[in-house]
Amino acid sequence: MIRKIMLAGCCALFAMPFIGCGGSSSSSSSVLTTSQALAATSDLFLAMTSTPLGHSTVAPMEMRRAEAEAIRNAHLNGNQSAPLIGITPQAGERAQGTTTVIPTYTYACPLGGTIVVNGSYTGTTTSSSISIVETITNCQDTGFTLNGSPDVAITDSYNNSGTVTTDSSTIVGGFTVGSAVCSINVSVNTTMNDTTYAGSETINGSVCGISLSGTYSY
């Protein structure tokens, strides 16, 4: 049974002064703002979670989408509201200790372009882990376009103890924005109380030389 409730969130984000994305060809037209850096991170995260096995019973798509939306909106200050989805996992949908190659999946970016996802999944009815590589081609979002150079790798670990749900992701690698070569090294960690739905999501790391450090509280 899926139960929907509304939550109020607030976050604090501190951005370091801009450091060039790298390469002598960098220009002001290729600079990502903090908002765009978070949007790009959200796109990469959502591409991973949109794969056929990325939204298993252990890590349902509804919660994954809420996490991705929190990443995208983490630059906002003050009170926010967003849907938090309570999930009751259904036993038996994933065999214990199953390891599966994730079918190649193509994610459509918000304003055009794609992210092609390849990787593997290991999971039970209470925990799962995903390891993938993303190839980015003209992935467009508000005010920027990403291309793969090199690719982006994501690892994700999800656990539900029956009382607390945790989800930890690491996003590393690189891409191009215009003629600039950018690197990404971001961790996303979510903790939620299964009874009260209280929790928090933290984002730490850097994207294209922009330092990100934010918390979105449920």
Average pLDDT value for residue range 74-99: 46
**87 pLDDT tier (thresholds 50, 70, 90):** very low
Assess contact for 116 and 133: CB atoms under 8 A.
no
pLDDT of 139 above 80? yes
pLDDT digits (tens, 9 = 90+) for 6-55: 233 333 332 333 233 433 333 333 469 988 999 999 999 999 888 876 54
**118 pLDDT tier (thresholds 50, 70, 90):** very high
- Respond yes or no on whether the N-terminal peptide bond of residue 110 is cis (omega within 30° of 0): no
Q: Tokens in use for 101?
A: 């190659």
C-alpha to C-alpha distance for 29 and 16, rounded to whole angstroms: 19
pLDDT of 141 above 60? yes
Q: Tokens in use for 154?
A: 């994501």
Q: Quick one: pLDDT at residue 53?
A: 63
What DSSP character marks residue 71?
Answer: H
Q: Does pTM top 0.85 for this prediction?
A: no
